[in-house]
């Protein structure tokens, strides 16, 4: 059984706690340190992953490493990397780091595979060039940042336009996400959680119900200050 907890999501901070097969993982550590230690016992953590250097993901990277948590990152990785048979406190797991496009910033999606689950974590990207269709994902945490329909309404002469254009070029919108999800094997997928939603150009009901009705897989939308709202359960 997989347990996914969102402590924070979006441009102000990201941190998710994932439990699978009695293994505990921290995915990004961009929220307040106190919140992390209040929600997870660091002695039980098998691995922490920092996707890229932006502070909303990497804020507590050094602190975690300093406390002796085994850390991996997508910052110094520009090729597809497979780390096989890593020892967890219980059993083993494999990691795959998959480079994804996030403007000029190095960023990698992460795949964690153990005895019973295959989990994909992909945030802050507008494109994944790798074919991931060989993986039978059981759980997916993926960015759904904006609605193309909302962004399309912004006046080209407004101050917001330039900022939003940059956002579109480095983040994933709902329609882009459907194309990405369509390319994956979802036959074993039990849950899709949408993360890193924009506060200005996203809408959790539209996003959650649209993904649920397309795939008929329980869909969660992570909330900025923590927690997950579910659709279809």
Within residues 47-76, the interface with Zn ion by CB under 5 A covers 54, 56
For Zn ion, which is the closer residue by CB, 125 or 231?
125
For Zn ion, which is the closer residue by CB, 199 or 233?
199
Binding pattern to Zn ion, positions 70-109, x when CB under 5 A? ----------------------------------------
For Zn ion, which is the closer residue by CB, 54 or 97?
54
Quick one: which segment of 62-70, 79-87, 118-126, 134-142 binds Zn ion (CB under 5 A)?
Answer: 118-126
Q: In angstroms, what is the minimal distance from the CB of 183 to Zn ion? A: 22
Which one among 28, 113, 124, 191 touches Zn ion, defined by CB under 5 A?
A: 124
Q: Is 99 helix (H, G, I), strand (E, B) or coil?
A: strand
For Zn ion, which is the closer residue by CB, 88 or 100?
100
Q: If binding means CB under 5 A, how many residues of this protein chain bind Zn ion?
A: 3
Decide the pairing of beta strands 139-143 and 118-122.
parallel
**Radius of gyration over alpha carbons of the chain, in Å?**
17
- Contact between 27 and 141 (Cβ < 8 Å): yes
CA gap 189, 11 in Å, rounded: 27
For Zn ion, which is the closer residue by CB, 107 or 219?
107
For Zn ion, which is the closer residue by CB, 56 or 73?
56
Q: In angstroms, what is the minimal distance from the CB of 52 to Zn ion? A: 6
Q: In angstroms, what is the minimal distance from the CB of 215 to Zn ion? A: 24
Q: In angstroms, what is the minimal distance from the CB of 43 to Zn ion? A: 28
Q: In angstroms, what is the minimal distance from the CB of 201 to Zn ion? A: 14
Question: How far from chain centre, in Å, is Cα 103?
Answer: 17
- Exposed (0-12), middle (13-18) or buried (19+): which is 145, by Cβ within 10 Å? buried
Q: In angstroms, what is the minimal distance from the CB of 28 to Zn ion? A: 8
CA gap 72, 49 in Å, rounded: 5
Quick one: which segment of 15-23, 120-128, 156-164, 199-207 binds Zn ion (CB under 5 A)?
Answer: 120-128
For Zn ion, which is the closer residue by CB, 56 or 117?
56
- Contact between 19 and 46 (Cβ < 8 Å): no
Q: In angstroms, what is the minimal distance from the CB of 9 to Zn ion? A: 9
Cα-Cα-Cα-Cα torsion 168, 100, 73, 38, nearest 10 degrees, comes to 50
Give the end-to-end CA distance of the chain in Å, rounded to a whole number: 16
CA gap 15, 40 in Å, rounded: 11
Q: Residue 80: which residues within 8 A CB-CB, separation 6 or more?
A: 96, 97, 98, 99, 130
**Footprint of Zn ion (CB under 5 A):** 54, 56, 124
């Amino acid at each position: 059984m997989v347990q996914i907890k969102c402590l924070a999501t979006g441009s102000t901070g990201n941190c998710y706690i994932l439990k699978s097969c009695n293994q505990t993982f921290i995915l990004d550590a961009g929220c307040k340190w106190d919140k992390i230690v209040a929600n997870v016992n660091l002695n039980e953590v098998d691995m922490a992953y920092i996707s890229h250097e932006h502070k909303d993901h990497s804020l507590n990277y050094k602190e975690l490493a300093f406390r002796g948590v085994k850390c991996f990152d997508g910052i110094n990785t520009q090729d597809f990397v497979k780390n096989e048979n890593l020892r967890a406190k219980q059993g083993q797991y494999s990691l795959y780091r998959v480079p994804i496009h996030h403007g000029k910033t190095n960023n990698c999606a992460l795949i964690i595979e153990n005895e019973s689950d295959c989990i994909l974590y992909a945030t802050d990207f507008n494109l994944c060039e790798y074919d991931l269709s060989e993986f039978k994902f059981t759980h997916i945490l993926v960015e759904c940042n904006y609605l193309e329909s909302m962004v399309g309404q912004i006046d080209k002469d407004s101050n917001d336009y330039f900022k939003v254009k940059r956002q579109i070029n480095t983040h994933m919108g709902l329609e882009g996400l459907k194309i990405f999800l369509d390319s994956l094997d979802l036959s074993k997928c039990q849950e899709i959680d949408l993360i890193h939603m924009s506060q200005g150009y996203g809408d959790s009901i539209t996003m959650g119900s649209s993904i649920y009705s397309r795939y008929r897989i329980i869909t969660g939308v992570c909330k900025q200050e923590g927690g997950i709202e579910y659709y279809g359960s």
